[in-house]
Chains A and B, each alone.
Chain A
Amino acid sequence: MSALLAVSGLSMRFGGLLAVDGVSFNVERDQVMAIIGPNGAGKTTVFNCISGFYRPTTGRVVLDGEPIDGLPSHQIARRGLVRTFQNVRLFKNMTVVENLLVSQHIQLVTNLWSGLVKTPGYRSAERHALERAAFWLDKVELLALANREAGNLAYGQQRRLEIARCMITNPKLLLLDEPAAGLNLQETRQLDRLIIELRQAHGVSVLLIEHDMSLVMGISDKVLVMEYGRPIAVGTPAEVRANPEVIRAYLGEA
């Protein structure tokens, strides 16, 4: 079976700056893959290219056998590739449960008419959406805060809500942009467990950008290291850790 996500020859040029230069990698099914690298290495740009927020200058992105490069971001999301953001992007003035209802928008097939007269189909769809929201809130341990405004949650809770909001769309591949940034040790461990559970129990593959090495090395099956827009190493955590190029990039020339 082919890889879930196949990225080949991806480059992104902003004027004179080549932010991403010839990045290729595959994410297999049920795999957790991490992209690491110093700040400004182009990791988030790779994410933006894959998820359709940037149109890559060159390169191909294939999700589950279908090319997705050049598609608008909302269509990529509908094909099962959803992402979180480095700075949490919740609907802050909406309640926690409403955040999860908005992300089910594409699954709730309700036309104008059925909503206006509240047909039985519409009612049951709404009920079902609420049940699913409750299920995921329970998973990320936010059920007790369901009717709170999302903006009032603690930072770690907001991060978990953002992941739940992605998961409720039934994605094939989840992209997490620095999910542990700003979390304390305990919250990071919680996140660790959550990501493992997502993969095992919900069959989602994860591609993440992270600076927290203990998290990356603990949960990843494969690690891609980037520097100045170029991939410098790819392999299992152990291989990457032993790679002299990687050590040079992180610690500087000896």
Chain B
Amino acid sequence: MRLYPLEALAAAVLTAVLTIPILGIDIVVDGPRITLTGEALPVLIAMAAVFVVRLFQEPLKTAIGWVRMDRLLPSPERMTAYRPMILTGLIVMALIWPFTVSRGAVDIATLALIYVMLGLGLNIVVGFAGLLDLGYVAFYAVGAYSYALLAQYFGLSFWTCLPVCVALAALTGCLLGFPVLRLRGDYLAIVTLGFGEIIRLLLNNLDQLTGGPDGIGNIPKPTLFGLEFARRPSQEGGVTFHDFFGLNYSGGDTVIFLFLLALALVLFTLFVINRLIRMPLGRAWEALREDEIACRSLGLNPTVIKLSAFTLGASFAGFAGAFFAARQGFINPESFTFIESAVVLAIVVLGGMGSQLGVILAAIALTVLPEVARQFAEYRMLIFGLVMVLMMIWRPQGLLPAARPRLKLPQ
């Protein structure tokens, strides 16, 4: 075992130089006077940490080498066998679970399900078709605002609006995709990033239409076959859920209903995507990701195939967006910042590109963990970054790497 005392010392000194301006100086506001005071402790902690890690560099590396993630998590081949069991288990648990826990927990779970929908949708674009889309939130915003505006100006219900929102988001995806899909890789990522920002800025500045930064409020909640979830019907002659079934009104019903609705939407999404990837179109996405030139030489039109992935991905974002608007009852452009795109992308990467179960687990982890660890809220981004770095070292293929359904030729 070799130790590195000299390197460790040098690293510690360098840490001191780097951290003093950030950690070592405190601003004290005393009435009108602002003074700077030195604070040694945080700097010393940072120096000590760097010193120790540097000193025991080699034994630490061996220790890290012992942790083999692929032994802890099952291999893709074995995952395929477990898949139906895991899925059924998850669905049954999800159906029973909201009746046993608090309202807050169900609410967070609903949020997690929205991210599952977004993750699954982006998975089509990034995971299957291999197109890096950094502006996915734009389509989410289009879906949410479509519902909010249609409900506000025309008084349409959630169920009428849902297909319209999906269609509008798909149309946006198609319109954006048409000029930009000839770009590849990084260039596509930058254009989509810009597009995401354009949509947000439009929503922010079209005051007359979208209410600008004030957003849109009083968005009606979804109904269950026309039954409203409210204390009193919103319109003359409307029927509420608790009246119809002769129950006492409880605010918790709404939350549970929204959760179950989100679950239904997720299952629908899963069903559609599962069919899609087994279809000729899904195979073409994969083939195009592997070799575009070979695809062209076989008569596959790359533009159409990429556009279909982009459009379908966008339509699922619109789907999730409409539900998000309905659940929140209030939306403003703040909900559709770049960080949302980044989180959804992180869900896809963390879960394993092209892996649906992985994306579901990652979406749940990335929405539930920050809520559970509220007291560490300040360190959220730090931990987030750390997790991503560790993932790239130990399991670059994602938590549950994709086991693509392979079409077998019966022998």
Which of B295, B409, B411 meets A102, CB within 8 Å?
A: B295
Q: In the bound complex, what is the Cα–Cα distance between A226 and B275 (angstroms)?
A: 50
B296:A90 contact, CB within 8 angstroms = no
* Chain B stretch 277-332: residues in CB contact (< 8 A) with chain A: 278-281, 283-284, 286-287, 290-291, 293-302
Distance of A166 Cα from B296 Cα, bound (Å): 12
Contact B283 A82 (CB under 8 A): no
Interface residues in B85-111 (C-beta closer than 8 Å to A): none
Contacts of A13 in B (CB 8 A): none
User: A98 in the interface, Cβ–Cβ < 8 Å?
Assistant: yes
Residue in A closest to B282 when the chains form the complex, CB atoms: A115
Residue A93 is within 8 A (CB to CB) of chain B in the complex: yes
B302 touches A102 (CB 8 A): no
* Cross-chain contact B283 with A74 (CB below 8 angstroms): no
- Known contacts A89-B294, A133-B409: does B283 contact A115 (CB below 8 Å)? no
**B290 interface neighbour in A91, A106, A165, A166, Cβ under 8 Å:** A91
Report the minimal beta-carbon distance from B335 to chain A, rounded to whole angstroms: 30
Q: Which residue of B lies closest to A137 (CB)?
A: B409
- Residues 101-144 of A contacting B (Cβ, < 8 Å): 101-106, 108, 110, 112, 115-116, 118, 130, 133-134, 137, 144
Contact B300 A106 (CB under 8 A): yes
Asked if A92 is an interface residue, CB under 8 A from chain B, the answer is yes
Closest to A115 in B: B279
Contact A51/B275 with A89-B291, A94-B290, A98-B406 known, Cβ cut-off 8 Å: no
| Cβ of A159 under 8 Å from chain B | no
Interface residues on A, range: 35 or more
Q: A105-B283, A110-B280 are in contact. Are A95 and B296 (CB under 8 A)?
A: no
Q: How far is B283's CA from A102's CA once the two chains are assembled, in angstroms?
A: 6
- In the complex, chain B residues whose CB is within 8 Å of the CB of A61: none
B408 in the interface, Cβ–Cβ < 8 Å? yes
Give Cα A110–Cα B276 distance, bound, in whole angstroms. 12
Q: Are B298 and A118 in contact (CB under 8 A)?
A: no
Cβ A73 vs Cβ B296 within 8 A: yes
Interface residue B272 (Cβ < 8 Å from any Cβ of A): yes
Contact B407 A130 (CB under 8 A): yes
Q: How far is the CB of A153 from chain B (nearest CB, A)?
A: 15
A64-107: CB near B (< 8 Å → 1, else 0) gives 00000000111101100011010001111111011001111110
- In the complex, what residues of B have CB within 8 A of residue A166's CB? 298
Instruction: Return B311 CB to nearest CB of chain A, in Å.
Output: 10
Contact A146 B297 (CB under 8 A): no
In the complex, whether A147 has a CB less than 8 A from a CB of chain B is: yes
- For A112, give its contact among B281, B283, B297 (CB under 8 Å): B281
Contact status of A51 and B300, CB under 8 A, knowing A101-B407, A105-B284, A146-B411:
no
Residues of B within 8 A of A95 (CB): 406-408
The residue that B293 contacts in the complex, of A53, A116, A118, A133, with Cβ under 8 A, is A53
A101 contacts which chain B residues (CB < 8 A)?
280, 283, 407
A115 CA / B284 CA spacing, docked (Å)? 14
- Contacting B298 at CB < 8 Å: which of A53, A97, A165? A165
Q: Are B275 and A115 in contact (CB under 8 A)?
A: yes
Q: Is A158 in contact with chain B by the CB < 8 A criterion?
A: no
Beta-carbon contact of A89 and B276 below 8 Å:
no
* Contact in complex: A74, B302 (CB < 8 Å): yes
Contact A94 B297 (CB under 8 A): no
Asked whether any CB of chain B lies closer than 8 Å to the CB of A44, the reply is: no
- Taking CB atoms, residues of chain A closer than 8 Å to B294 are 85, 89-91
- The chain A residue sitting closest to B299, CB to CB, is A77
Q: Is the CB of A78 within 8 A of B280?
A: no
Q: Any chain B CB within 8 A of the CB of A169? A: yes
Q: Judge whether B297 and A77 touch: CB under 8 Å.
A: yes
Tell me whether A108 and B280 are in contact (CB under 8 A): yes
A245 to B297, CA, bound (A): 34
Q: Given the known inter-chain contacts A102-B287, A147-B406, A147-B409, please indicate yes or no for A77 contacting B298, CB distance below 8 A.
A: yes
Chain B nearest CB: distance from A83 CB in Å?
5
In the complex, which residue of chain B has the Cβ closest to the Cβ of A76? B299
Docked-complex contact B281 and A115, CB < 8 angstroms = yes
Contacts of B301 in A (CB 8 A): 72, 74
| A18 CA / B275 CA spacing, docked (Å) | 50
| Contact residues in A for B281 (Cβ distance below 8 Å) | 110, 112, 115
User: Shortest beta-carbon distance, B288 to chain A, in Å?
Assistant: 9
The distance in angstroms between the C-alpha atoms of A77 and B295, with both chains bound, is: 10
Contact of A77 among B276, B283, B286, B296 (CB under 8 A): B296
Say yes or no: A116 contacts B272, CB within 8 Å.
yes
Hey, which chain B residues are within 8 Å of A73, CB to CB? 296-297
Report chain B residues within 8 Å CB of A89.
291, 293-294, 297
Chain A neighbourhood of B298, CB < 8 A: 74, 77, 82, 102-103, 105-106, 165-166, 169
- Residue from the set B284, B286, B294, B406 with the largest chain A CB neighbour count within 10 Å: B294
Question: How far is A110 from B290 in the complex, measured between Cα atoms in Å?
Answer: 22
Beyond the given A89-B294, A91-B290, A116-B279, could you list 10 further A-B residue pairs with CB under 8 A, ordered by the A residue number? A72-B301, A82-B297, A90-B294, A94-B286, A102-B283, A103-B298, A106-B298, A115-B276, A115-B280, A169-B299
Interface residues of A (CB under 8 A from B): 51-53, 72-75, 77-78, 82-83, 85, 89-95, 97-98, 101-106, 108, 110, 112, 115-116, 118, 130, 133-134, 137, 144, 146-147, 165-166, 169
* Interchain Cβ contacts under 8 Å between A and B, 25 examples: A51-B297, A53-B293, A53-B297, A74-B296, A74-B299, A77-B297, A82-B297, A82-B299, A85-B293, A85-B294, A89-B291, A89-B293, A91-B291, A98-B407, A102-B280, A102-B300, A105-B300, A106-B299, A106-B300, A110-B279, A110-B280, A115-B275, A134-B409, A147-B406, A166-B298
Q: Which residues of B contact A (CB under 8 A)?
A: 272, 275-276, 278-281, 283-284, 286-287, 290-291, 293-302, 406-409, 411
For the complex of A and B, the 7 pairs showing the least CB-CB separation, nearest first, are: A77-B299, A115-B279, A89-B294, A146-B409, A102-B287, A78-B299, A97-B409
